Amino acid sequence: KLLNGSVGNHCSIRDHHIANHCSIRDHHIGITVGIRDHHIGITVGIRDHHIGITVV
């Protein structure tokens, strides 16, 4: 399913990025790869807190 690239395993055509998300209760781990922006990012979200590693 495509909904502005915000649901589960998705490919956002608008932003041209592919993201995989695993949600664990209030915790979620996301891996995103941006093709248009040419960046690879790893983001770990804990509740409202986010820890991110971005390589440009």
Spell out the domain ranges in the chain.
Answer: 10-55
Tell me what pLDDT residue 4 has: 45
pTM: 0.27
The rounded distance, in Å, linking the Cα atoms of 34 and 17 is: 4
At 21-56, the pLDDT tens digits run: 444 444 455 666 555 655 566 666 555 555 555 554
The rounded distance, in Å, linking the Cα atoms of 11 and 4 is: 9
